[in-house]
Amino acid sequence: MDTAGVPQRRNYIDGRFLGSNRQFEKTSPVDGSAVATVHEADRAMVDHAVQAARRALKGPWGRMALAERAEMLRAIATGIERRFAEFVAAEVADTGKPAALASHLDIPRGAANFRIFADIVRTYGMDSYFLDTPDGKGAVNYAMRKPLGVVGVISPWNLPLLLLTWKLAPALACGNTIVAKPSEETPSTATLLAEVMHEAGVPPGVYNLVHGFGPDSAGEFVTAHPGVDAITFTGESATGSAIMRSVAPSVKPISFELGGKNAGIVFADCDFEAALAGMAHAIFSNCGQVCLAPERVYVERPIFERFAAALKQKAQAHVMGWPDDPKTTMGPLISRQHREKVLSYYALARTEGASVMCGGGVPAFGDARDRGCYIEPTLWTGLAETARSVKEEIFGPCAHLAPFEDEEQAIAMANDTRYGLAATVWTSNLSRGHRVAQAMECGIAWVNCWFLRDLRTPFGGAKLSGIGREGGLHSLNFYSEPTNVCIKL
Ligand code: NAD
């Protein structure tokens, strides 16, 4: 289907943009209009992409000096920045998120990911270390990092360019070649990135992009392909499980960044206004579609009522508007299907006995936005800690608030989950901040902040929230294969 005026999002394989006979329409979460026609890659196209990536490992890319590769990553970052407005518009069209958010977070981080990994690989190199022999046997050891080979990158829709490049940049920095499969909901910035790679002179076959869905489509064709050497995936925990099954026969290395059901802990001694602003931002940013968002909020009893009332005001102050309107603070959910899922949790929470403090439904605008996927920001109290709506990831602009009596109870409640991605702790007692953060059974614990990232630090989740860590040297470790060379002197 070719709709006049609607961009075509084609696959990018071996340095060429390729259309497909199978196409699907990507619609706007803002008003349901068509935003792109996406060309779905079939099994043969995915195989073509994998073969191109395998060949590219042996071509100019494979022989390129590390410094030159790092320069190429910088050129990609510059290329994104040069077309900044186009990237913002594409991200906004696919997701409906406020343009201000895409301009401040998604696209700048997309470019920054390439710069930081260019710096990291230049600083640490691919020859990792030399060792003296402690036993006097007269040998010297060194270890060199080699690329893993062809890396399959499967990414989600919530922060499309940011999360794709978070994996792509270190994988390329280590000299791998790529077959990337972005979410079917957000095909656009990954396609623009292919144009930027092309313009930056990235050799054919190094970055291959295939569009499509997960099961029985491009996603599964990539993960199950025997010519793909490693899989890096960000998405739902259940999808991670399915991918594990699909990679099992060929025993590929995997790096998984999965779902969360994160806790926010607010102590009575916190800076009230800072904690309120921080928690409101953490819960509702990107319409709650952030893996790190706290959907469980624990507040120390003496300030519970006051904090809950103030958070409710923050929730109700959100302006659900058009993405380009600077007054808009909250966009829609990504799709009708996802809104059905979130609404099913809104209904479940009520059935489970929640008191609905605010929200719980769908706003009515009386204009084209009624054909979109907007949903009200929602807060609950009164649920049992065992309720499914307190246990399961919802991935919407919502949270349950519960009081706690002391530090020990707060830690126990926060850790009583099968997930282990992130936590945010608010207190003006620094010793307590350290203590509680260290007790969190998760990959990242923030104190008096949230989503404050130094890209050198380990990022990932414990329990159901993931396998492995990425960031800085952790990424170099995953995306390279060390070979130890031992020389008898
Ligand atoms: P999803 O798992 O539905 O899809 C993610 C990607 O996997 C998409 O590209 C999809 O097409 C593909 N996919 C789906 N099934 C597949 C299969 N069987 N084989 C191969 N590929 C398959 O996730 P989503 O809905 O796009 O994203 C939201 C989820 O991502 C939430 O659970 C969120 O917590 C998680 N997430 C985690 C992090 C993190 O860093 N831990 C970051 C962002 C989002």
pLDDT in tens, 351-373: 999 999 999 999 999 999 999 99
pLDDT averaged over every residue in the chain: 96
Task: Give DSSP secondary structure letters for 275-286.
Answer: HHHHHHHHHHGG
Per the domain annotation, does 1 fall within a domain?
no
Give the pLDDT score at 165. 98
Residue 256 CA to ligand 1 center (angstroms) comes to: 10
Are 483 and 403 found together in one domain? no
> pLDDT exceeding 90 applies to what percent of the chain?
93
Per the domain annotation, does 460 fall within a domain?
no
**242 CB near ligand 1 (under 6 Å):** yes
**For the chain, what is the domain count?**
2
Asked if residue 379 lies in contact with residue 308, where contact means CB atoms within 8 angstroms, the answer is yes
Give the pLDDT score at 129. 58
pLDDT band with cut points at 50, 70 and 90 for residue 400: very high
Are 447 and 478 found together in one domain? no
Per the domain annotation, does 249 fall within a domain?
yes
Are 249 and 267 found together in one domain? no
Global pTM?
Answer: 0.97
Give the pLDDT score at 128. 60
Strands (E), 225-374: 230-234, 254-257, 262-266, 294-300, 355-358
Are 131 and 22 found together in one domain? yes
Residue 396 CA to ligand 1 center (angstroms) comes to: 15
Per the domain annotation, does 210 fall within a domain?
yes
pLDDT band with cut points at 50, 70 and 90 for residue 38: very high
Closest residue CA from atom 26 of ligand 1: 156
More confident residue, 167 or 135: 167
Are 436 and 475 found together in one domain? no
**421 CB near ligand 1 (under 6 Å):** yes
CA-based nearest residue to 291, from 218, 240, 216: 240
Closest residue CA from atom 15 of ligand 1: 214
Residue 158 CA to ligand 1 center (angstroms) comes to: 9
Token pair, residue 155, equals 């990414």
The CATH code of the domain that includes 153 is 3.40.605.10
**295 CB near ligand 1 (under 6 Å):** no
Give the pLDDT score at 256. 98
Are 243 and 129 found together in one domain? yes
Contacts of 399 (CB under 8 A, 6+ apart): 264, 283, 294, 295, 296, 297, 379, 380
- The Cα-based distances of 168 to 48, 110, 120 in angstroms read 19, 10, 14
**183 CB near ligand 1 (under 6 Å):** yes
Give the pLDDT score at 126. 73
The CATH code of the domain that includes 362 is 3.40.309.10
Are 446 and 302 found together in one domain? yes
Residue 126 CA to ligand 1 center (angstroms) comes to: 30
Pocket test for ligand 1, best of 154, 155, 243, 342 (most atoms within 8 A of CB): 154
Pocket test for ligand 1, best of 26, 38, 291 (most atoms within 8 A of CB): 291
Closest residue CA from atom 37 of ligand 1: 258
Are 186 and 64 found together in one domain? yes
DSSP 3-state of 137:
coil
**157 CB near ligand 1 (under 6 Å):** yes
Q: Tell me: the pLDDT tens digits for 108-164?
A: 999 999 999 999 999 988 776 566 666 667 788 888 899 999 999 999 999 999 999
**158 CB near ligand 1 (under 6 Å):** yes
Cα–Cα distance for residue pair 30/133, rounded to 1 Å: 63
Are 308 and 371 found together in one domain? yes
* Nearest atom of ligand 1 to the alpha carbon of 243: 19
Give the pLDDT score at 2. 45
Active site residues: 257, 291
Are 273 and 243 found together in one domain? no
Residue 366 CA to ligand 1 center (angstroms) comes to: 33
Distance of CA 145 to the CA centre of its chain: 26
Range of the domain at 175: 8-258+465-488
Cα–Cα distance for residue pair 83/196, rounded to 1 Å: 9
Per-residue pLDDT at 291 exceeds 50: yes
Are 203 and 337 found together in one domain? no
Residue 165 CA to ligand 1 center (angstroms) comes to: 15
**223 CB near ligand 1 (under 6 Å):** yes
Per the domain annotation, does 182 fall within a domain?
yes
Per the domain annotation, does 45 fall within a domain?
yes
**221 CB near ligand 1 (under 6 Å):** no
Per the domain annotation, does 3 fall within a domain?
no
**113 CB near ligand 1 (under 6 Å):** no
Q: What are 230's strand-pairing partners?
A: 151
CA-based nearest residue to 394, from 362, 356, 347, 426: 347
Per the domain annotation, does 459 fall within a domain?
no
Are 282 and 376 found together in one domain? yes
**462 CB near ligand 1 (under 6 Å):** no
Closest residue CA from atom 39 of ligand 1: 257
Mean pLDDT, residues 28-36: 98
Mean pLDDT, residues 282-291: 98
Cα–Cα distance for residue pair 186/191, rounded to 1 Å: 10
